[in-house]
Structure 1
Amino acid sequence: MSNDMSLKGIKSVLFVCMGNICRSPSAEAVFRHKAKEQGLSLFIDSAGTLGAHAKERPDHRSLKAGEARGYSFDGIKARKLTVADFDKFDLILAMDDDNLVNMNNVSPKALQYKNQLFLNFATELEEQQVPDPYYGGAKGFDYVLDLIEAASDGLISQIK
């Protein structure tokens, strides 16, 4: 699914990073908020390509940065990406190239058209990947939110 393809029929979006505790739950929270503001009724979730943090709440630094901007992380818990996700979701968005490769390794070949980089929708940005803020300082979490907000706005404008 390239960016020039219509996304108007999209009903569900899955955000994917590695551990599902920083980037993808932030994307889920931001996109859920922005979609609701625009009156879009979508099923929105997040998952990780690794299951090491399954059932954990998002990283406290992601929560702090996101909540400071008014985003709710209610009900968000880490889980591992499954093969069933590729049937269940219309659009599956990776935070970076490594996770896109991992997604394509799990995804049935016939459904790989659903897999894309999230920042493909942030057309005004040079950045193509959402960097993992886990090992950095607080500024990294704010930068991740800046990227996610830009890509969320771009994606919503294409779905509308």
Structure 2
Amino acid sequence: MNEIFEKYGLIILTIIIFGVFSYAIICGMTDPSGLESEDGDVPDSAVFLKSYGNFSQEGYDTRVMLDVINMSNPEHVEYMGLQGGPLVGYGLSYKGHIEIWWNKDTEVNESTMDRIYSIWNKNGKLVGIEDIPVVFLRCSKYEGD
């Protein structure tokens, strides 16, 4: 077990740190209060939309959750902003659930969220996770440099 951790531990840690930094860049570091500003725009922070799955399961193996992300990548391409979809991005939260970032300038469509979650849940079941925990958050579109 220690050999596996020594071999893959740094890679896993790098992926987690990259996810945290990506989240910070995409959604900002402000408090996600969910309140709209005076001009009616959602503030430049993450705002909770909806959650799916079972959050009571303790200690999902990070490698297994990353496997689910990798398995789901090809199936989510059509939902990404670059393809005209509503998603800014997604990743593994430090709390152990999947976070999906919905573009704040795109109308929230619950049936689309249901379809997206069904992909995550299907792939979670393939690796032994029933009712994979997923949170949808609304945040700013990444502008890049």
Question: After TM superposition, is the score higher than 0.5?
Answer: no
Larger radius of gyration: 2
- In proportion to residue count, which structure has more strand? 2
Q: TM-score, normalised by structure 2?
A: 0.31
Per the normalisation by structure 1, the TM-score is 0.29
